[in-house]
Amino acid sequence: MRTDLFDFDLPEALIALRPVHPRDAARLLVVRPGARGGRSDRTVTDLPTLLSPGDVLVFNDTRVIPAALKGTRVRGEAVAQISVNLTERLDGQRWLALARPAKRLEPGDRIQFGGDGNACLLDALDATVEGRGEDGEVTLRFDLSGPALHDAIDAQGAMPLPPYIAAKRPADEQDRVDYQTTFAREEGAVAAPTAGLHFTPALIDALEQSGIVSHFVTLHVGPGTFLPVRGEDTDEHKMHAEYGSVSTDTAFALNAIKARGNKIVAVGTTALRLLESAADEFGTLKPFAGETDIFITPGYRFCFVDRLLTNFHLPRSTLFMLVSAFSGLDTMKLAYAHAIKERYRFYSYGDACLLSPEERL
């Protein structure tokens, strides 16, 4: 499909730079496609009344690491300031990363991420550039390894805020709380599953009291979630692979819930992509452990997910393409026009929408 079909005018002022507090006070646009469709303006705290007893919310329990690092490249007497976002751990000492400006880096360069070079200190984190790839990707070999490297990254790093937020302000200590779900436990993401950011323990308790249960899957969100679709056709875009897992117990429980006629509600596009990757063509969810690079665009036939809770996404993004596949492009364009008119807050720290699937003939 042509990527310009997924374009719309988004006022920059509507991109949220901070979340609302408390988290569940965010606004919620309920979207119903088709002849019985329509929209209603609610809040996230209304979820217990918008779902039915026996329905299930499926959350992504990945935990974001503080993957954003700032350092100094040292090449003889010449130095340069470098920003790095770690993207994938290769082994106990090496990481793939996105560097800016990558053109200032060559294999063999040394980068000092704070400290004075004393490897015994957590504020010392030095690395050698082993290689440079395309689109700013570099391979870094750190002087530290194993748990010591993990602790140093945790001490030196900042939360890897999405580009449209990071361009407006630096990450700070508050983001270590705000850019992490309250149920995060499986460390490995370099971006947050942002729909899950709206949930508080109080809201989850209220949902449980209404008979709505929760289950967890894991998808370690990678930097590809932020990459724009640059080509003129969606077929030209390649999704980055991300590691995910669905346990045998979770697959069994979700299949049973679906079999009795209740709804599978994915909390976020990451949970949806993982569930659709793990489901077979007959709509049965299988245990899963591996990488997925599923790219969902209009025309995709959803096998397992019945409803989707997600944030508002950027024009021409793979995420807006996904929600357009789920609820219909025309429906989502009208919904987003309403959200812009009513000044809903967009992107990772923004408001949410609750979507139902497009009616199919």
Q: Each residue of 324-358: pLDDT tens digit?
A: 999 999 999 999 999 999 999 999 999 999 999 98
Q: What is the pLDDT of residue 133?
A: 87
Whether 122 and 113 have beta carbons less than 8 Å apart is answered as no
Average pLDDT over residues 302-310: 97
Task: Give 129's strand partners.
Answer: 140
Give every strand in the sheet of 264-267, ordered side by side. 38-43, 27-32, 352-355, 307-311, 264-267, 56-60, 213-219, 242-246, 288-292
Residue 182 confidence (pLDDT) above 70:
yes
Q: What would the DSSP string read from start to end of 115-183?
A: S-S-TTSTT--EEEEEEE-STTEEEEEESS-HHHHHHHHHHH-B----HHHHTTS---HHHHHHTS-TT
Residue 276 confidence (pLDDT) above 80:
yes
Count of beta carbons in the 10 Å neighbourhood of residue 78: 9
Strand (E) or helix (H) holding 84: strand 78-89
Span 61-102, pLDDT tens digits: 999 999 999 999 988 888 899 999 999 889 999 999 999 998
Tokens of 147: 């748990």
Whether 139 and 163 have beta carbons less than 8 Å apart is answered as no
Whether 354 and 31 have beta carbons less than 8 Å apart is answered as yes
Q: What is the pLDDT of residue 319?
A: 95
Average pLDDT over residues 20-32: 97
Which fold, 3-64+176-355? QueA-like (3.40.1780)
Q: What is the pLDDT of residue 226?
A: 65
203 Cβ neighbours under 8 A, 6+ residues apart: 24, 44, 45, 47
Which fold, 68-157? Thrombin, subunit H (2.40.10)
Cα–Cα distance for residue pair 92/83, rounded to 1 Å = 21
Span 197-232, pLDDT tens digits: 999 999 999 999 999 999 999 999 987 766 677 778
The mean pLDDT of the chain is 92
230 Cβ neighbours under 8 A, 6+ residues apart: 236, 237
Q: What is the pLDDT of residue 34?
A: 65
Strand (E) or helix (H) holding 88: strand 78-89
Tokens of 65: 């690491």
Q: What would the DSSP string read from start to end of 340-352?
A: HHTTPPBSTTS-E
Span 155-177, pLDDT tens digits: 999 999 998 899 999 999 999 99
Q: What is the pLDDT of residue 121?
A: 47
pTM above 0.85, yes or no: yes
Q: What is the pLDDT of residue 118?
A: 41
Q: What is the pLDDT of residue 285?
A: 98
Could you tell me the end-to-end alpha-carbon distance of the chain, in angstroms, rounded to an integer?
21
Span 95-153, pLDDT tens digits: 999 999 988 899 999 999 975 444 444 457 999 999 998 878 999 999 999 999 999 99
Domain range summary for the chain, segments of one domain joined by +: 3-64+176-355, 68-157
Q: What is the pLDDT of residue 217?
A: 98
